[in-house]
């Protein structure tokens, strides 16, 4: 099932997106959004007798985390190598504030403090319930679903500061969407799902989730051994190789097989 957040010009609502999604993550033309009452993270799925054509609504970020986005650094060996670093012995955690989140089609604002802003296409795990010290074999129980993320990073500031907070913390630096796919097993990612990033239509990242050093259940276990996770919290699972700069006016698309495709443009702040 695909859970989206959308607006028709009125207050944002959650909804279920029906119809097929093709191999490029594009929904069928006849897809509709069936509206839900309230917030499914808290009240479950209460389906309303109200639907819209997907083409007639504006999709929003499928979740605004109430507490945190936990990023994982260097979780693909080839990306660690291109950064000139070793693979970490344990997952490398950092936080992005929830004010970084934007939705499909929203602009990524290029901050004046940086001259080297990179895309990082990533699988995002969305947590469904409050949890702590989750064993890897129970990770599925606390995962609401998966979405597509772009862990936008001001690479020059990340290197200069050592700490990641500024380089990864600017407003608009965490596009999420287009919806949350709830029906995938974490094993699907261990078996390999294609993660691709396109810059102005050209493939710039083409990785497989099978190449993650720490898999999804391990990451949920590791993060939850440090901090309590709340419904709607997001874990970014790291980016494959091929990161690179974006310029104002560029269009960046991240696509994950079986989930969907997320497109944003870069704008001057």
Q: Which residues contact 202 (CB under 8 A, 6 or more apart)?
A: none
When the beta carbons of 5 and 155 are compared against Mg ion, the nearer one is 155
When the beta carbons of 61 and 153 are compared against Mg ion, the nearer one is 153
Phi, psi angles (nearest 5°) of residue 87: -75, 130
Which residues ranging from 46 to 75 are in contact with Mg ion (CB under 5 A)? none
When the beta carbons of 147 and 239 are compared against Mg ion, the nearer one is 239
When the beta carbons of 218 and 239 are compared against Mg ion, the nearer one is 239
Tokens linked to 11: 């207050």
Region binding Mg ion by CB under 5 A among candidate stretches 128-136, 141-149, 199-207, 232-240? 232-240
Q: Which residues contact 135 (CB under 8 A, 6 or more apart)?
A: 221
Number of residues that bind Mg ion (CB under 5 A): 3
Smallest CA-to-CA distance from 236 within 258, 251, 254, 263 is with 254
Tokens linked to 154: 């001001």
Region binding Mg ion by CB under 5 A among candidate stretches 4-12, 21-29, 57-65, 238-246? 238-246
Region binding Mg ion by CB under 5 A among candidate stretches 25-33, 75-83, 93-101, 236-244? 236-244
Instruction: By CB under 5 A, tell whether 197 contacts Mg ion.
Output: no
The site map against Mg ion for 119-158 (x = CB under 5 A) is -x------------------------------x-------
Q: Round to whole Å and give the CA distance between 143 and 137.
A: 12
Q: How far is the CB of 183 from Mg ion (least distance, A)?
A: 25
Q: Round to whole Å and give the CA distance between 105 and 107.
A: 6
Site for Mg ion (CB under 5 A): which residue of 239, 261, 263, 264? 239
The CA–CA distances, whole Å, from 171 to 86, 101, 164, 165 equal 29, 7, 14, 12
In the complex, the residues that contact Mg ion under the rule CB under 5 A are: 120, 151, 239
């Amino acid at each position: 099932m695909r859970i989206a957040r959308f607006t028709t010009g009125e207050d944002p609502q959650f909804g279920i997106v029906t119809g097929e999604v093709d191999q490029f993550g594009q929904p069928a033309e006849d897809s509709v959004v069936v509206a839900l009452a309230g917030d499914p993270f808290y009240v479950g799925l209460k389906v309303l007798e109200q639907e819209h054509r997907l083409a007639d609504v504006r999709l929003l970020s499928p979740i605004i985390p109430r507490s945190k986005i936990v990023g994982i650094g260097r979780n693909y060996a080839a990306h660690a190598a291109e950064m000139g670093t070793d693979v970490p012995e344990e997952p490398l955690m950092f936080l992005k504030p929830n004010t970084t989140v934007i939705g499909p089609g929203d602009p990524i604002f290029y901050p004046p403090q940086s001259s080297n802003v990179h895309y990082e296409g990533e699988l995002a795990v969305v947590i469904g319930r409050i949890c702590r010290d989750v064993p890897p074999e129970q990770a599925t129980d606390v995962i609401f679903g998966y979405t597509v993320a772009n862990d936008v990073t001001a690479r020059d500031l990340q290197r200069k500061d050592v700490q990641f907070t500024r380089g990864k913390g600017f407003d608009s630096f965490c596009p999420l969407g287009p919806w949350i796919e709830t029906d995938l097993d974490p094993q699907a990612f261990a078996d390999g799902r294609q993660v691709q990033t396109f810059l102005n239509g050209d493939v710039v990242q083409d990785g497989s989730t099978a190449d993650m050093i720490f898999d999804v259940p391990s990451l949920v276990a590791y993060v939850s051994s440090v901090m309590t996770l709340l419904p709607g919290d997001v874990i970014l699972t790291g980016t494959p190789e091929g990161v690179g700069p974006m310029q104002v006016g560029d269009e960046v698309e991240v696509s994950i097989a079986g989930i969907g495709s997320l497109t944003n443009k870069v704008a001057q702040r």
